[in-house]
Amino acid sequence: MLVVEDEPSLQQTLAAFLTLRGFRPFRAQNVEEALTILGREQIDAITLDVRMPDPRHQQRTGLTLLQFLRTDPLYQQTPILILTGIPLGDVDAQLARRLRAEVFYKPQPYSAISERLEALLATPAI
């Protein structure tokens, strides 16, 4: 499980809650850190913020990471939940749907997030 979130308090509390629910979360504050973790760990699900700082100034966002993940055979079927505090525009919402990512708007009860992750992980990939 990978929690990609740039807000430290939200990242920490979500990861702690998911740990209590039986997940083993890794945490990343930006796309760069997420890619590093994805390169060395086996990740079975991801929560993904949309807007995050990009240390390399390449305008990478949670949505660009989502696009990249769906091109990688290892992550084409991985459950991905987008957690965002801003409403997605039509184009971004369509992209999320097309790439099979579910959108949750902050604030969202952590129980709803973990229950959805549990359900997605219990469903066999198509």
Tell me what the pLDDT averaged over the chain comes to: 92
pLDDT tens digits, one per residue of 44-103:
999 999 987 666 656 678 899 999 999 999 999 999 999 999 899 999 999 999 999 999
List domains and CATH numbers for the chain.
Answer: 2-109 (3.40.50.2300)
* DSSP state string for 31-66: HHHHHHHHHHS--S-EEE-SS---TT-S---HHHHH
Give pTM, 2 decimals. Answer: 0.90
End-to-end CA distance of the chain: 20
CA count, 13 A, side-chain hemisphere, 90? 0
Amino acid identity, residue 29? Q
Q: What is the mean pLDDT of residues 1-10?
A: 95
Return the pLDDT at 52: 75
